[in-house]
Amino acid sequence: MDFKSVGIKGMGYYAPEHVMTNLDFEKIIDTSDEWIRTRTGIEERRFAAKDQATSDLCVEAAKKALENAKMSIDDIDLILVATCTPDYLVQASACLVQKRLEAKQTPCFDLNAACSGFIYGLTVAGGMIRGGVYKNILVIGAETLSRIIDMQDRNTCVLFGDGAAAAIVGEVEDGYGFLGAYLGAEGEDDEILKIPAGGTKKPNTIETIENRENFVKMKGTDVFKFAVHALPSSTNKAMKIAGVKSEDIKMVFPHQANIRIIEAAAKRIHVPMEKFYVNLQRYGNTSSASVGIALGEALEKGIIKKGDTIALTGFGAGLTYGSIIMKWCY
């Protein structure tokens, strides 16, 4: 059996027009631009318009990815949307994307690995293509986190933003594409990072809404401790699987959550900080979209070129984590 080379054939990303700055937050909650920047590195983020949902952001990113790959929607035989903020609890956002893109009868589903979602999605897509199930898969990581943040909680509401990133995954030139991947999880139920109410375990009631349990809750210290371990660990394991060393990496695209986490990871991966692509100052934490937005932006700037070895790495609620090492194919 021939081993197929599978990779990304086209990328696209979309960020909503509305910019929410740290100064804007100063006007509505007890915080300051200095407090946010020194603790997170974030200066601004994008919020979706009132008439935009996650599927709308997906469609914009998907159109750009198809154009970048010089492909049409007819070339796509599976749509996978990684998100923790779907349009509806019941009905996959991927199905809404399929309808909007007129990808008639194309199978589609959602995947929820929170901030690790894009990496999980790429890994799942790669396995399906190598297994001969599909040829070209549209993988999208997208979030409208502005709808699930508590604007009265200054510790969390300043962290998150909205956006989407899309990748066309398919067979690529031999020797290029995905070289190795590692996924992991440390399941917890201690409200380290979750929305407590609104699911089947704790349906929303007047009481849960009054207690603001329908918004995301996070234990920041616990997340930090997990992230500074999980992010470098998964990256190092993916590099070992891929057979590459840290000095072989041209650029690392980490989940854009917090500059302190990224700096700590850089030391443990033994890759200099200047090789870490950082754009969280402009977008904040966009969860499953963050790694893809960073990669898409770097491609636009010409930072990544054919033959470069890069790493995508992330962590998120669940708790989940994962990394992919790839040799860029275009």
Residues noted as catalytic: 115, 255, 285
Residue type, 307: G
Task: Please give the Cα distance from 183 to 321 (Å, whole number).
Answer: 6
Question: Are 179 and 33 within 8 A, CB to CB?
Answer: no
Task: Please give the Cα distance from 193 to 211 (Å, whole number).
Answer: 17
Question: Are 116 and 315 within 8 A, CB to CB?
Answer: yes
Question: Are 182 and 238 within 8 A, CB to CB?
Answer: yes
Beta carbons within 8 Å of 301's beta carbon, 6+ residues apart: none
Task: Please give the Cα distance from 311 to 69 (Å, whole number).
Answer: 21
Look at residues 65, 132, 130 and name the one whose alpha carbon lies nearest to residue 97. 65
Task: Please give the Cα distance from 48 to 244 (Å, whole number).
Answer: 39
Which pairing describes strands 44-47 and 18-21: parallel, antiparallel, or unpaired? antiparallel
Token reading at 53: 């949902």
Alpha-carbon dihedral sign for residues 285, 113, 197, 224: negative
